[in-house]
Amino acid sequence: MGPVDTYSFVFDPYSPEVVESQLSDDVASIATDLENGLRHYRRGDLVEALWWWQFSYVSSWGNLAGAALNALWSVVQHARLDVEDPIDEEAVAVADEILVSGADTPD
Protein backbone atom coordinates (compact mmCIF):
# COMPACT_ATOMS: atom_id res chain seq x y z
CA MET A 1 0.00 0.00 0.00
CA GLY A 2 3.05 2.14 -0.32
CA PRO A 3 3.11 5.52 1.39
CA VAL A 4 -0.40 5.16 2.89
CA ASP A 5 0.24 1.79 4.57
CA THR A 6 1.39 3.15 7.94
CA TYR A 7 -1.16 5.19 9.87
CA SER A 8 -1.83 6.10 13.47
CA PHE A 9 -4.96 6.00 15.59
CA VAL A 10 -6.13 6.05 19.19
CA PHE A 11 -6.73 2.42 20.18
CA ASP A 12 -8.71 3.17 23.35
CA PRO A 13 -10.33 6.61 23.67
CA TYR A 14 -10.41 6.23 27.46
CA SER A 15 -6.67 5.69 27.55
CA PRO A 16 -5.62 7.98 24.68
CA GLU A 17 -2.37 6.47 23.49
CA VAL A 18 -1.61 6.91 19.80
CA VAL A 19 -0.81 3.61 18.10
CA GLU A 20 0.87 3.08 14.73
CA SER A 21 -0.46 0.37 12.47
CA GLN A 22 -0.24 -0.87 8.88
CA LEU A 23 -3.31 -1.07 6.67
CA SER A 24 -1.97 -4.15 4.94
CA ASP A 25 -1.50 -6.00 8.25
CA ASP A 26 -4.88 -4.89 9.55
CA VAL A 27 -6.75 -6.00 6.42
CA ALA A 28 -4.97 -9.37 6.54
CA SER A 29 -5.84 -9.77 10.23
CA ILE A 30 -9.50 -8.90 9.59
CA ALA A 31 -9.66 -11.41 6.72
CA THR A 32 -8.13 -14.12 8.93
CA ASP A 33 -10.68 -13.49 11.69
CA LEU A 34 -13.58 -13.59 9.23
CA GLU A 35 -12.22 -16.72 7.54
CA ASN A 36 -12.18 -18.59 10.84
CA GLY A 37 -15.95 -18.14 11.18
CA LEU A 38 -16.41 -18.93 7.50
CA ARG A 39 -14.75 -22.35 7.98
CA HIS A 40 -17.30 -23.20 10.66
CA TYR A 41 -20.12 -21.93 8.47
CA ARG A 42 -19.00 -24.04 5.51
CA ARG A 43 -18.91 -27.11 7.76
CA GLY A 44 -22.55 -26.42 8.55
CA ASP A 45 -22.06 -25.16 12.10
CA LEU A 46 -23.85 -21.81 11.91
CA VAL A 47 -23.93 -21.28 15.69
CA GLU A 48 -20.15 -21.74 15.98
CA ALA A 49 -19.57 -19.46 13.00
CA LEU A 50 -21.73 -16.72 14.50
CA TRP A 51 -19.97 -17.10 17.84
CA TRP A 52 -16.52 -16.70 16.24
CA TRP A 53 -17.60 -13.74 14.15
CA GLN A 54 -19.07 -11.98 17.18
CA PHE A 55 -16.12 -12.84 19.44
CA SER A 56 -13.48 -11.75 16.93
CA TYR A 57 -15.45 -8.59 16.08
CA VAL A 58 -15.58 -7.52 19.72
CA SER A 59 -12.05 -8.58 20.59
CA SER A 60 -10.15 -7.69 17.44
CA TRP A 61 -11.37 -6.85 13.99
CA GLY A 62 -14.17 -4.44 14.84
CA ASN A 63 -11.73 -1.87 16.17
CA LEU A 64 -9.21 -2.57 13.41
CA ALA A 65 -11.86 -2.22 10.71
CA GLY A 66 -13.00 1.11 12.11
CA ALA A 67 -9.45 2.44 12.31
CA ALA A 68 -8.55 1.17 8.83
CA LEU A 69 -11.73 2.65 7.36
CA ASN A 70 -10.96 5.99 8.98
CA ALA A 71 -7.40 5.89 7.58
CA LEU A 72 -8.70 5.11 4.09
CA TRP A 73 -11.28 7.88 4.39
CA SER A 74 -8.46 10.26 5.27
CA VAL A 75 -6.50 9.19 2.18
CA VAL A 76 -9.51 9.93 -0.01
CA GLN A 77 -10.17 13.20 1.80
CA HIS A 78 -6.63 14.40 1.19
CA ALA A 79 -6.46 13.24 -2.42
CA ARG A 80 -6.58 16.04 -4.94
CA LEU A 81 -9.27 15.21 -7.42
CA ASP A 82 -7.99 17.70 -9.98
CA VAL A 83 -4.66 15.92 -10.46
CA GLU A 84 -4.30 13.72 -13.51
CA ASP A 85 -3.12 10.25 -12.53
CA PRO A 86 -1.65 8.16 -15.31
CA ILE A 87 -3.61 4.93 -15.74
CA ASP A 88 -1.57 1.74 -15.76
CA GLU A 89 -3.35 0.02 -18.66
CA GLU A 90 -1.60 -3.29 -18.02
CA ALA A 91 -2.69 -3.37 -14.36
CA VAL A 92 -6.27 -2.52 -15.35
CA ALA A 93 -6.28 -5.34 -17.94
CA VAL A 94 -5.00 -7.84 -15.36
CA ALA A 95 -7.63 -6.72 -12.84
CA ASP A 96 -10.37 -7.03 -15.47
CA GLU A 97 -9.22 -10.54 -16.33
CA ILE A 98 -9.24 -11.55 -12.65
CA LEU A 99 -12.75 -10.17 -12.22
CA VAL A 100 -14.04 -11.97 -15.31
CA SER A 101 -12.43 -15.30 -14.36
CA GLY A 102 -13.64 -14.95 -10.76
CA ALA A 103 -17.22 -14.44 -11.88
CA ASP A 104 -17.28 -17.95 -13.34
CA THR A 105 -16.25 -19.68 -10.10
CA PRO A 106 -18.89 -20.64 -7.53
CA ASP A 107 -18.59 -19.39 -3.95
Higher pLDDT, 38 or 95: 38
Residues 61 and 79: their CA atoms lie apart, in Å, by: 26
Greater pLDDT, 50 or 91: 50
pLDDT at 99 over 90: no
- Res. 83: pLDDT tops 90: no
| Contacts of 68 by beta carbon, 8 Å cutoff, 6+ apart | 21, 23, 26, 27, 30
Q: How far is CA 59 from CA 31, 72, 88, in A?
A: 14, 22, 39
pLDDT value for 106: 55
Give the orientation angle of helix 62-78 with respect to helix 23-42, to 10 degrees: 140
- Return the number of other C-beta atoms located less than 10 Å from residue 58's C-beta: 10
Distance in angstroms between the alpha carbons of the first and the last residue of the chain: 27
- Window from 18-32, 54-68, 73-87, 90-104 with minimum mean pLDDT: 73-87
Tell me how many degrees the CA angle 59-53-42 measures, rounded to the nearest 5: 150
The answer, yes or no, to whether residue 28 has pLDDT greater than 90, is yes
Whole-prediction pTM value?
Answer: 0.64
Contact of 56 with 33, CB cutoff 8 Å: yes
